[in-house]
Amino acid sequence: MNNITERHQLILDKLHKEGDLNVVTLCKELKVSRVTIRKDLKLLEEKSLLFRTHGGATLRNPYAIDRPVNEKEKLQSAEKVKIASAAAQLIDDNDSIIIASGTTVLALARKIQNKKNLTVITASLNVTLELLHKPDIEVLQLGGILRRSSSSVTGPYAQNILADFSCTKLFLGVDGIDLEFGLTTTNAMEAHLNREMIDASQKVIVLSDSTKFGKRGFGKICGLEKVDRIITDSGISEHFVKQLEDLGIEVTVV
């Protein structure tokens, strides 16, 4: 296909259908070089028709920004409640779990009911306050440096405490999920603490609304090979779901 206008239209049509594009795939389908595709994506980005990513393009702005927790809680609130309800069903009696920080995992804390002998380790002050009046749940609040924007703690003290525990499940909220870069958050110290949580857990369950897919935060938590399951809402594209499942991740769409 030599006509640049036709090529650009095909790229945009495919992008709107799939949500994300890969340079290598486009080269094969359009029978042009990687240099040509990268030039095409650059021109389309300059026209504000897409965002370039590492190895491809997306319709969504791929860069996550830090927001105060009270502002985040208002975003995709209905979707977060559905995600939290699905996640709560995965918690069993006698579990020892980690609940990280963020508004989606806070919604999970609100959905935990009638669990016997449950132990929860958390970095989130709001999660602790939510579980405070549930007598059958033992809560271990991590200590450390207070991150005001998320009402949670970070730092080496919290990381060192986690080295003493082995938990059945980690429920992790993130700011970005990128197929190549992995899980990210907007804060580097929080990313480091999340890595320690992953090491202390037998199973990693990510709770994320669909707006987080294709985005990257400043701090990398881990690659997708560390993730066992992702629970998200129906806004995620079928193409993204298939790519995650091809990586061996169980995806639950609510």
Supply the pTM of this predicted model. Answer: 0.76
Domain assignment present for 134: yes
- Domain shared by 139 and 46, yes or no: no
Q: What local confidence, expressed as pLDDT, does residue 18 receive?
A: 86
- The number of domains in the chain is 2
CATH number reported for the structural domain that contains residue 149 in this entry: 3.40.50.1360
Which ranges of the chain have pLDDT less than 70? Answer: 1-2, 62-75
Domain assignment present for 11: yes
- Domain shared by 16 and 52, yes or no: yes
Percent of the chain with pLDDT over 70: 93
- Domain shared by 102 and 36, yes or no: no
- Domain shared by 224 and 199, yes or no: yes
Domain assignment present for 64: no
Q: Domain containing 9: what range? A: 4-58
Domain assignment present for 208: yes
Residues 6+ apart with CB under 8 A from 133: none
Q: Name residue 232's beta-bridge partners.
A: 253
Residues 6+ apart with CB under 8 A from 154: 123, 144, 145, 147, 187, 189, 190, 192, 193
- Domain shared by 175 and 206, yes or no: yes
Domain assignment present for 63: no
- Domain shared by 37 and 112, yes or no: no
* pLDDT tens column, 49-97: 888 877 888 877 766 555 565 555 556 789 999 999 999 999 999 999 9
- Domain shared by 20 and 133, yes or no: no
CATH number reported for the structural domain that contains residue 36 in this entry: 1.10.10.10
- Domain shared by 24 and 82, yes or no: no
- Domain shared by 52 and 83, yes or no: no
- Domain shared by 223 and 151, yes or no: yes
Domain assignment present for 54: yes
* pLDDT tens column, 199-220: 999 999 999 999 999 888 889 9
